[in-house]
Amino acid sequence: MTKPSKRLYVPVNTEGRRINMGHPKSRFSDNDVEMIQQMHEAGLGYRRIARAFKTSPSSIQSIITNRTRSQWTDRLKVVNPPEPTPDENQSH
């Protein structure tokens, strides 16, 4: 007997597109983005923050200058959760 899948809610913009952590290509959690902004406000430069998050300075700059991660959540959308990998299906 299979378990019923849990509902997965993701943030979407006014056009219904996934944003922030809900986007499948998102590399940073919302907490990471907040931490990046706090580190920059504390005076740390892009390179130093980038080293801490193992990414490029340009990625950090995009977050700080609101080129990315700058949309507000309009609503939450229910999506199908990702299928478990074969390793997750095996019980230990």
Enumerate domains of the chain plus CATH numbers.
8-79 (1.10.10)
Q: Is the pLDDT of residue 3 over 90?
A: no
Q: What torsion do the CA atoms of 52, 54, 58, 59 make, to the nearest 10 degrees?
A: -100
Considering only the C-alpha atoms of the chain, give the largest distance between any 2 of them, rounded to a whole number of Å. 55
Please determine, for residue 41, whether its predicted confidence score (pLDDT) is greater than 90.
Answer: yes
What predicted TM-score, i.e. pTM, was given to this entire model?
Answer: 0.61
Residue 48 has pLDDT above 90, yes or no: yes
Contact 75, 14 (CB under 8 A): no
Helix axes 57-64, 30-41, angle to 10 degrees: 90
Look at residue 12 in the predicted model and tell me its pLDDT: 80
36 φ/ψ angles, rounded to the nearest 5 degrees: -60, -45
